[in-house]
Structure 1
Amino acid sequence: MGNRHISLKDLARELNVSISTVSRALKDHPDISAAMKEKVKKMAQERRYTPNPLAMGLLKQETRMIGVIVPDLVTHFYASIIAGIESYAKEKGYFILLASSNESYLKEKESIENLLRARVEGFIVCLSQETTETAHFEDLLKLNIPLVFFDRVCLNGRVSSVTADNTEAAQTITQHFYQQGCRRIAFISGPQHLNISKERMSGYLAGLETSKLPVIAELIEACDLSSESATQAMKRLLELKRLPDAVFGINDTVAFAAMKEIKRHGLRIPDDIALVGFTDEFHSTVVDPPMTSVTHPTFEIGRAAASLFFIAKQAKETPQTLVLKTQLVERESSQKNKLN
């Protein structure tokens, strides 16, 4: 047999019996004689036979595989969430198949098609930034294929989801700036259709209101979440007659780009402009100055998303929306008061 995986068919051929006889013998079926059971088990052990979970799954219409689609496979944010999903799935005897949309709507659709061909039982997804249409997800629902969203979500009320408390976190950031003496607080948001943009904008505005600061339109910019687009947004803020004294980036990629542009203009962080990011990537601790950011319970988000997947698989409960708390991790990039 060489190094090839030994199958039930191989054992049946060697023993000159049917595949069903081998299968039932391995399961101690009462219709199989003790002698045959012993013979089959002995050969299975000698040939180092192990059940093929994919083949078994196909027979049962269960492959024990979950398709997981994320915007990228590079950042620690998604890697940690994937680890949480995998951890929970493993406890249930399931595997995950990964795909990256690379922030592309078309790639996201293609990933769903490819994973369906691989016979995944359902999906756990974080939307790409380009996704504005949901027909490809609606099709999954029509086929009763389990679906769960995390972080960037859609089809609220129809599909279970796990998110961070974006509104509260953004409000906390804005109030933190105010407490540090900042009065012209800018916000670089993301694509307007994404829930994270809407929720963090809502928190930013609530923070301004709580701090009794006016909403100044010129201090609100948007980008497509790429470094290049964020750089252009920061450039526009730095062209204002009155510069912002604080900048809140919708995620760390945006904040890193803003940091680079602020420095390129010869300005100091936080002396001239305080800066806060969102997602607390590892790089937040090694840039100069270390960047204040919002840390997510990423591993817990992954486990929660996986738990909702198995609930959705039973199709017995209404969709759930889980909102997990975040924490503002203060570092030098926003701590103006410590300079005085």
Structure 2
Amino acid sequence: MENGKEVTIYDIAKRLSISAATVSRGLQDHPAVSKKTKRKINDMAYEMGYRTNQFARNLRQQQTKTIGVLVHELKSSFITSVLAGIEKITATAGYDIVIAHSSESAQKEAANARNLFNKRVDGLIASLSFDTTDLDHFQPFADKGVPVIFFDRVEQTGQNTVVVIDNAKCGYIATSHLIEQGCKRIAHITSSLRRNVYALRHKGYQDALADNNIPFDESLVVISALSEQAAVDATTQILSMKPLPDGIFVTNDFVAAVCIRTLKEQGIRIPEDIAIVGFNNDAIGTLIEPALTTIDYPGMDMGEIAARNMIDHLKGVSPIHHTSTIVVRSQLIVRESSLKKQYP
């Protein structure tokens, strides 16, 4: 950069007494330019502080080489692992990512979607907020032919490409495990049933009860936010139940950890009095005492799969089919918090 001004190919051409077209071709490693001339051009470009205007070049090619990522929060270790998976794939493919988060607000989600659309992202990978009720704000992407892939929190209407785990099956496995440990009165701490992840885990919980001839009791289901105070309040609600549950299936590990702490403060033994299963396999699950039984939710895999499908589509390798559902593997990880059987 000379005198604070951005160096152009014309400045390089003037210094080398060659045409700007030759400089341009040399910087792009064009075969028509000799190796010797290319070396001269690149050496001079480096010496003068020339920076390739990748943005302008991409716009000329009708792409920005950026992918928008819209998430509902950034504090979750699950979301962090998804972002790591996305970035691993996009960086290798030469794409940048632009991250926006809705803070669980449909209004902010819509504003962020509009902003990412105006930034001309080549594609969008999104997870919906708690109170999103329609997908109208994603319609401009469809109208312009910009691909959108939803992950984790999605609308499973068959109209979109989604990357999910089998939430109903996981809810069933978690609840069945508690039943196998001898639990007969199982509470369920969950979140907004408007979101697919919580509605399907709830369905799995109900199905496991039904298959084991345990009547479903709506009073044992506690709908909670995912904050610490909401988790304390949910646990307090459970402590007021008569009789106390002997098992709890919690659809979030952080909430499960707060639940265990709050129960222990009230003299409840885990798992002797109440066995607990969480969900997500967050790091906190191995830090609490007793360690938390949970469902492994491989965020890194989910991010990689979503990004790989997006990149393949953008490169024309494997076009996205708008009705496809990609299911990522998941499994139960058994730890001390649920092992009631070892305490006769």
Q: Scaled by the length of structure 1, what TM-score is found?
A: 0.90
Given the alignment, which residue of 317, 321, 325 partners 1:318?
Answer: 321
| CA deviation map 1:12-60 (0-9, x unaligned) | 4544666444212434657768986565344235446453433321221
Instruction: Give the corresponding residue for 1:111.
Output: 112
Instruction: Give the corresponding residue for 2:233.
Output: 232
Instruction: Give the corresponding residue for 2:298.
Output: 297
| CA deviation map 1:205-240 (0-9, x unaligned) | 121122221111211121233333333233222212
- Higher deviation after alignment, 201-210 or 251-260: 251-260
- Higher deviation after alignment, 52-61 or 245-254: 52-61
Instruction: Give the corresponding residue for 1:244.
Output: 245
Instruction: Give the corresponding residue for 1:182.
Output: 183
Letter in 1 for 2:211: T
Shift of 1:61: 2.0
In structure 2, how many angstroms separate the alpha carbons of the residues matched to 1:11 and 1:175? 71
SS in 2 for 1:140: helix
SS in 2 for 1:241: coil
Instruction: Give the corresponding residue for 2:147.
Output: 146
Instruction: Give the corresponding residue for 1:123.
Output: 124
In structure 1, how many angstroms separate the alpha carbons of the residues matched to 2:124 and 2:78? 19
For residues 298 and 31 of structure 1, do their structure 2 counterparts lie closer, same or farther at Cα, with a shift above 3 Å needed? closer
Instruction: Give the corresponding residue for 1:336.
Output: 340
Q: Scaled by the length of structure 2, what TM-score is found?
A: 0.89
In structure 2, how many angstroms separate the alpha carbons of the residues matched to 1:118 and 1:161? 23
Q: Contact (CA 8 Å) 2:156, 2:196: kept in 1 or not? A: no
Q: Contact (CA 8 Å) 1:175, 1:210: kept in 2 or not? A: no
For residues 155 and 141 of structure 1, do their structure 2 counterparts lie closer, same or farther at Cα, with a shift above 3 Å needed? farther
Letter in 1 for 2:24: S
Please list, as runs of the form range in 1=range in 2, the aligned pairs for 1:19-98 lying within 5 A after superposition: 19-27=20-28, 39-47=40-48, 49=50, 51-98=52-99
What CA RMSD, in Å, does the superposition of the two structures yield over aligned residues? 2.6
Shift of 1:4: 7.9
For residues 213 and 45 of structure 1, do their structure 2 counterparts lie closer, same or farther at Cα, with a shift above 3 Å needed? same
- Higher deviation after alignment, 217-226 or 287-296: 217-226
Letter in 2 for 1:243: L
Shift of 1:173: 0.7
Shift of 1:267: 1.3
Letter in 2 for 1:267: I
In structure 2, how many angstroms separate the alpha carbons of the residues matched to 1:101 and 1:301? 20
| CA deviation map 1:76-128 (0-9, x unaligned) | 21111111111111221112122222222222223223333443222111111
Q: Contact (CA 8 Å) 1:124, 1:305: kept in 2 or not? A: yes
Instruction: Give the corresponding residue for 2:261.
Output: 260
% identity of equivalent residues = 36
For residues 305 and 28 of structure 1, do their structure 2 counterparts lie closer, same or farther at Cα, with a shift above 3 Å needed? closer
Shift of 1:256: 2.3
SS in 2 for 1:278: coil
Q: Contact (CA 8 Å) 2:182, 2:340: kept in 1 or not? A: yes
SS in 1 for 2:162: strand
In structure 1, runs of 5+ residues without a counterpart are none
Q: Contact (CA 8 Å) 1:71, 1:103: kept in 2 or not? A: yes
In structure 2, how many angstroms separate the alpha carbons of the residues matched to 1:274 and 1:329? 14
SS in 2 for 1:207: helix
Q: Contact (CA 8 Å) 1:105, 1:128: kept in 2 or not? A: yes
SS in 2 for 1:51: coil
Letter in 2 for 1:336: K
Do residues 164 (structure 1) and 168 (structure 2) align? no
Q: Contact (CA 8 Å) 1:147, 1:312: kept in 2 or not? A: no
Task: Give the paired residue count.
Answer: 340
Letter in 2 for 1:239: S
Given the alignment, which residue of 315, 325, 331 partners 1:327?
Answer: 331
SS in 2 for 1:289: coil
In structure 2, runs of 5+ residues without a counterpart are none
Instruction: Give the corresponding residue for 1:273.
Output: 274
